[in-house]
Structure 1
Amino acid sequence: MGSVIEVEHLHKSYGGTVAVDDVSFTVGQGEIFGILGRNGAGKTTTVECLVGLRRPDRGTVRVLGRDPQRDHAEVTRRVGVQLQDSQLPERLRVGEAMRLYQSFYPEPADSRELLAQLGLAGRERTPYGKLSGGQKQRLSIALALVGRPRIAVLDELTTGLDPHARRDTWDLIAGIRAGGVTIVLVTHFMPEAERLCDRIALIDAGRVLVTGSPGELIARAGQPTLEDAFVSLTGRNA
């Protein structure tokens, strides 16, 4: 399994605050790779550097062999992104949002088919502000996938969802990977990472503490669950 993402010695500061400090990891083709840590650990800054939204102070990032800064347009065409604070105008209709995002790509997916796959069939005329939390997340996934990406970056996708909507979203993520898309899943929710991820980079205070499968991290910490392993490895509550 070849690597589609390579991050080496990534460093990013904001003034005197170090957000990401010497982070390195690789992501293999076709896997769900988790970036796991508490709020403020440096996860979102890491993925913003990964997709070219922020310029690293030091280190190298390669996505499908490309530099996200130098080759930003090419990376954007191949990587679908759903960021943590993504919001749409309340009055923008679902179908309008899909058509807008389709216009960014040379060969976009069929929006009606994609919405149907994600449980949003018949919602094309619904304003964004009228969608439930779970429906908004499904639309976020649809917008991240409309360009037929090889990689999808999903940042805190299930934050704020009720347990039923969260489990439905987990099933969607598993289905996306089954369709051949590599997924980078950014989360602080331990059961989500334990259920979905093939491998995890555990980040704390801007550094990668350990990388491995959920089972490997649990075994390394000698704990029964990933949440218990997180506490043991970081010395912090989840």
Structure 2
Amino acid sequence: MPGTHEGLRAVVTGGASGIGAAIVAALQERGATVVVLDLQPSPSAPSVTCDVSSDESVRAAVAAAVDQLGGLDVLVNNAGIGAQGTVEDNPDDEWRRVYEVNVLGAVRLSRACLPHLRASTAASIVNTCSIAATAGLPQRALYSATKGAIAALTRAMAADHLREGIRVNAVNPGTADTPWVARLLSTAADPEAERAALEARQPHGRLVAPEEVAEAVAYLSSPSARSTTGVDLAVDGGMQALRLRPA
């Protein structure tokens, strides 16, 4: 709702496109001032170039963003990359690369932002997790492992920082209609059939819209949710919780 984030200062990683861009828009609509940390510039918010796989890059980018914002209230750890395959298919170097971005990226950002968040009266961290953390998906062993780590990290951070006044939550999207999914579909033998299969996998029968995930992030980062911490909020069309009979 308009005004829920009035006066709040937010950093969103991976905010130049996809779910990240939708999160930026949702926070701005509610009155937050947002700086995007991404390898690419954002079309809708001030940006600082940041490689989340580099601690040096993260610390420099956070310092620059906080300087622009004049402080920090909200961190959204959204940057991430995908991976396909079973546990046999990805070499060690790819495991390391995806963990560097998806898990250690969130660690680096949180570590660099915590001193600034401690000075806020409305401090919140929201991690973009995934349905892959709570459901076994085929051909997603590496990606699922990183998102399972984010789910556990979210709960541990929530316990560590609650008494410092910092809430930590996660949002678990189902398969979302993002550029990354579009690229995957484009490589399928039959993209239309593959899209139909992904849509059918979710009980509500379609891909999740990035704006729907952004609404969940906006709620979790809002001062109105100050009694909500340590949760992972599913935005998956019922994929995790529901067991519908075939239509």
Where on the TM-score scale, by shorter chain, does this alignment land: which range? 0.3 to 0.5
Q: Which has the higher helix share?
A: 2
- With structure 2 as the length reference, what TM-score do the two structures score? 0.36
Specify which structure has the bigger relative contact order, considering alpha-carbon pairs within 8 angstroms and separated by 6 or more residues. 1
- With structure 1 as the length reference, what TM-score do the two structures score? 0.37
